[in-house]
Amino acid sequence: MYSARDQRDNREWLARIDAAADGLELGSEARSYASDMFLTQLPDEERSKQAVAAASLYAGALIAGEERSQTAVAESMDVSRLSIQQRWKDLLREAGFRPPSW
């Protein structure tokens, strides 16, 4: 769980997630999952937030059944595809989901 303070302090990152979701034409469910995962898994290091936000958006889209490619999400969040690839399965596990083995 996350606090209202975390949400307030990271509104810029949440806005970036939302803007990228707009570009990817993702629905409200994917956005909600992405925001919740990002805030729940919030990294301490500011420099890690962009990659975690991107991985959260990718994972949120998967959970909502609106899968987008890692490349498309990476481009929309201005990170490398590898940043997403290295993080999304752990985000799903931490959120209580079992990531696919592919």
Q: Are 90 and 75 in contact (CB under 8 A)?
A: no
Q: What are the mean pLDDT values of the chain's consecutive 10-residue runs (102 residues total)? A: 90 98 98 97 93 98 97 98 97 92 77
The Cα 88–Cα 102 span in angstroms is 13
What confidence score (pLDDT) does residue 2 get? 84
What confidence score (pLDDT) does residue 3 get? 87
Query: Please, where are the H alpha helices in 64-99?
Result: 70-77, 81-85, 88-94
Q: Are 52 and 16 in contact (CB under 8 A)?
A: no
Query: Domain total for the chain?
Result: 1
What confidence score (pLDDT) does residue 55 get? 98
Please indicate, yes or no, if residue 102 is contained in any of the structural domains.
Answer: no
Please indicate, yes or no, if residue 49 is contained in any of the structural domains.
Answer: yes
Q: For the domain that residue 48 is a member of, what is the CATH number? A: 1.10.472.10
What confidence score (pLDDT) does residue 47 get? 93
Name the residue range of residue 76's domain.
2-93
What confidence score (pLDDT) does residue 64 get? 97
The Cα 30–Cα 8 span in angstroms is 20
